Every structure is written in C-alpha cells, then in structure tokens.
Amino acid sequence: MHQETLLWRVVYTHRANLTSGPFAAGPWHPDKGYIEHCAAQLRNYALQVGVQSNQQATKAVSTWIKAS
C-alpha cells in the first residue's frame, strides 16, 4: 500500500494578510515542528494562524467539490 507523504503548512485568515484572498497559506513542509514554530512566530504579531496537513486540505477540497 502506498502511503502519501505527510506535509504541513501555516494557514491564516484575511485579517492576517490583507493583500490575499479570504484565506491564504504558506508552502508545504515535511517538518511539523518547524511549521508550528513558524505559526508561533506569526502569533507573536497577533496574527490568527493555524497549522494544516495536506491530508486535512484534501478532505476540505473534497467537501468543496461535492458542494459544487
């Protein structure tokens, strides 16, 4: 059985980045600890951010596709 590589990224809302769309995200990275560190640094600037895996993103996209 082929197992997909687990990747992580920082996601943030429109309030965190006024020049983007309603939601935006950083690049994918294989080290969750590094991404959590990046998210913590952004939170130090009072930005509303979270951490998302590529598996979570795939599930979210599948719900968008079903809703169309």
Q: pLDDT tens digit string along 14-64?
A: 555 545 555 688 899 999 999 999 999 999 998 888 898 998 887 765 554
Strand, helix or coil at 64? Answer: helix
- CA–CA distance, 58 with 19 (Å, rounded to integer): 25
Round to whole Å and give the CA distance between 56 and 52. 6
Distance CA 18, CA 16 (A): 6
Lookup result for tokens 């080290």: 31
Rounded to two decimals, the pTM is: 0.70
Q: Which residues pair with 11 in a beta bridge?
A: 25, 50
